[in-house]
Amino acid sequence: MSKFNSNCSEVRISPSTMLPLVLLFAAALASGPPVVLDDPTLCNPSGYIAGVDLGLDCCTFVVCDNARLNKTGFQGKCMGGTAWNQALLVCDDVKYVPDCDVTTCDVPKRTNAECADPQPTGSTCCVGQNREGGKNGYEPVFTAGSAPEFFIRGNDRDEQKCPLGQVFVLESCCCEYEYAPAPPCDDTTGFYFADPDDACCTYLQCWANRTGFDTVPCMPPSVWNDDNKTCDIKYNVMDCMAAECGVEMTDEPCPDSFEGDCCRNGLFYTLGPDSTQYTIAGAEGMDNDRLLCCPVNMDGNQMIFNADPEVCCCEVEDLGL
């Protein structure tokens, strides 16, 4: 998703440089047509070109569009009285860009004025809008263009075009990539669904954009419990009690003798200095000197380590009440 600020300019900040927030916030892609690059090699190696190298002012920078083989670029403007620093690839304080006179720069003006009408409408929107929350968003008002990828900013006469492959979406008031959710992931109630081809042994995990899914197996002998949306023991899923999902996974057995207070699943446990702490011994690569703590359960009760060989785990202390 391409996020826009109050002048609907796509924000792109160089991740390689950490500067004060006021300087980083000043960089924003301004409205206007893409810049045609006669020499795509200017994009090497950073993907950013100083505007002065293309005959533009010193507050301007160009972000190369590698989707178009660097033959075009998105024009950006440094705002808030900052200038483009090509060495650091950020909008910087003018004292660090002494050759730039920012008073000569053509920079869009920001406004904090709220949009007069609730947004979005059938054809307009404002950045920061939230109709259900009673927020109209902030000026300027954007209008959907003549095609899905076009929009008009404020009172501009010319349409602007979203980056390649994106369309203008009124609900978010920005350019976004189009995604077509695929069943069953078009059901927005969750991301995990029963596998129609194997309801017991596998389940479907949807991708974040819901355009597809991965088929994930439950580890035998567990089966998919679609009510709880988790792999579960087969006795909790009536329809899968007879399911055979492959070779069952088993824990390493405990030996007859070992060093420690108790053993569970092939690991040796020793009670720590107090009842809430323990150490794990016998596991390759494990730091035996590091104390581990029992967690607090969902009811807010501190669990303690029970070293009884029949238990050998953290549990809530039985106070005998």
Average pLDDT value over all residues in the chain? 83
- The CA distance from 139 to 85, in Å, is 29
Is it the case that residue 308 has pLDDT exceeding 80?
A: yes
Instruction: Tell me the DSSP string of 79-112.
Output: -TT-EEETTTTEEE-GGG-TT--GGG---PPP--
Is it the case that residue 176 has pLDDT exceeding 70?
A: yes
pLDDT at 80: 84
Asked if residues 265 and 277 have their Cβ atoms less than 8 Å apart, the reply is no
Q: Tell me the mean pLDDT in the region 214-231.
A: 95
Render pLDDT for 16-47 as a digit per residue (tens, 0 to 9). 333 333 333 344 444 456 788 888 888 888 88
pLDDT at 10: 34
pTM of the shown model: 0.40
Report percent pLDDT > 70 for the chain: 85
Point out the least confidently predicted range of 19-23, 60-64, 107-111, 257-261.
Answer: 19-23
- The CA distance from 120 to 14, in Å, is 31
pLDDT grade, residue 118 (50/70/90)?
very high
Residue 63 is given by DSSP the state E
- The CA distance from 65 to 47, in Å, is 8
Q: Which of 260, 261, 242 is nearest to 307 (CA)?
A: 261
Q: Tell me the mean pLDDT in the region 219-227.
A: 94
- The CA distance from 148 to 151, in Å, is 8
Point out the least confidently predicted range of 78-92, 99-113, 203-217, 266-280.
Answer: 99-113
pLDDT at 289: 61
pLDDT grade, residue 288 (50/70/90)?
low
Asked if residues 99 and 57 have their Cβ atoms less than 8 Å apart, the reply is no
* Chain position carrying tokens 């035996």: 288
* Chain position carrying tokens 């107090």: 274
Q: Which of 161, 25, 179, 121 is nearest to 129 (CA)?
A: 121
pLDDT at 320: 52
pLDDT grade, residue 299 (50/70/90)?
confident
* Chain position carrying tokens 């309801």: 199
Order of strands, sheet of 138-144, starting from the edge strand that comes earlier in the sequence: 124-127, 138-144, 150-153, 160-161
Greatest mean pLDDT range, 34-43, 74-83, 289-298:
74-83
In the beta sheet, which residues pair with residue 223?
232
Residue 175 C-beta-side C-alpha neighbours within 13 Å: 23
Q: Which of 123, 233, 108 is nearest to 168 (CA)?
A: 123
- The CA distance from 16 to 152, in Å, is 33
Q: Who's near 244: CB < 8 A, 6+ residues apart?
A: none
Render pLDDT for 178-222 as a digit per residue (tens, 0 to 9). 888 999 999 999 999 999 999 999 999 999 889 999 999 999 999
pLDDT at 3: 37
pLDDT grade, residue 284 (50/70/90)?
low
Tokens matching residue 168: 């203008």
Between residues 258 and 273, which one has the greater pLDDT?
Answer: 273
